[in-house]
Amino acid sequence: MRCYHESLLYFRGVHKTQPMAPSVPEGTTPPEKKKTELEELMEKVYSNLSMCHMKKKNWERVIECTDRALGINPNNEKAIFRKGKAQGELGFFEKAEKTLKEAIEKHPAEAPAINQELERIRQKEKEVKKKHDSKMRGFLSREKDILQPESKASHSDTAPAEKPEPAKIEEVGSDNEEDKSPVKETKHEEAKIEEVDDDDEKDAPGSSSKSAIPV
C-alpha cells in the first residue's frame, strides 16, 4: 500500500505540471477527452488501493478509492463492483443494490458474479432487519412492563372514596310500648257528708236544739 501511495503522490505532482487544454470556442462541441497515460496509471493505482482496503475491511476507504478511479473511468468494472460491495457492508443496502445493478448494465458478461453479490447483500439486509425488529419487540415489552405498575398505582390513587352507609332508623315496636308503665290515675275520694240523726244530736251534751252538720 505504501508503494501505491508514493506512486499517487508522484503522479499528482506530474499531473499539476502538465499544460492546460486549449479553450473551446463558443458554439462548438468539445471533443471527447481521451485519457492520458498518466490518468490510466492513476486509475489502476486507485483500483488496486481499493482492493487492498477491501481485504482489510476498510470499507470507507474502499468507497473513497473507487470513487477516484470512477472519476477517471466511469466504466471501470472492478471499481463499480467493489464500491457496491463496500456500500452493502456498511449497511447502505439501497445504494449497494443500485450500484451493482449499474455494474450489470455496463458489464452484462459479469452478471452471474454480480447477482451472487446482490443476493448476499439482500440476505444480509433481512438479517439486520430481523435483529432490529427483535430488539424493538424486546424494548417495547420492557417498556410495557414498566408502565403497567405505574398505571395501576395511578388508578388506585384516583379511586373514588367509599360513601358511608346511612344510619338505619329502627322503628319501635308495640312491644316496647308495652314496657312503659302506664300512668295510674288516682282518683280522689269524695268526702262523704253524713246526716246526723236527731237522736244522736239530743244525746250529745251541751248540744243545741238546732241540727249540726259536721264539716
Task: Give the confidence band of 131 by pLDDT, cuts at 50, 70, 90.
Answer: confident
Instruction: Give the HSE-up count for residue 75: Cα atoms under 13 Å, Cβ half-sphere.
Output: 5
Task: Give the confidence band of 137 by pLDDT, cuts at 50, 70, 90.
Answer: confident
Please list, in sequence order, all residues whose beta carbon lies within 8 angstroms of the beta carbon of residue 5, skipping any fewer than 6 positions away.
Answer: 49
The answer to whether the beta carbons of residues 124 and 152 sit under 8 Å apart is no
The answer to whether the beta carbons of residues 8 and 47 sit under 8 Å apart is no
Task: Give the confidence band of 135 by pLDDT, cuts at 50, 70, 90.
Answer: confident
Q: How many whole angstroms separate alpha carbon 151 and alpha carbon 50?
A: 57
The answer to whether the beta carbons of residues 97 and 121 sit under 8 Å apart is yes
| Per-residue pLDDT tens over the stretch 65-84 | 999 999 999 999 999 999 99
How much is the pLDDT for 134? 81
Other Cβ atoms closer than 10 A to 107: 17
Is the entire prediction scored with pTM above 0.85?
no
Residue 140 cell numbers, joined: 417495547
* Domain boundaries along the sequence of the chain: 2-14+36-132
| Per-residue pLDDT tens over the stretch 145-171 | 676 665 555 555 555 556 656 656 555
The answer to whether the beta carbons of residues 3 and 41 sit under 8 Å apart is no
The whole-chain average pLDDT of the chain stands at: 73
How much is the pLDDT for 211? 45
Say which residue the cell 506530474 belongs to: 14
Residue 69 cell numbers, joined: 478511479
Q: How many whole angstroms separate alpha carbon 160 and alpha carbon 141?
A: 31
Mean pLDDT of 29-51: 81
How much is the pLDDT for 37? 86
CATH 3.30.1330.60, domain 2-14+36-132, yes or no: no
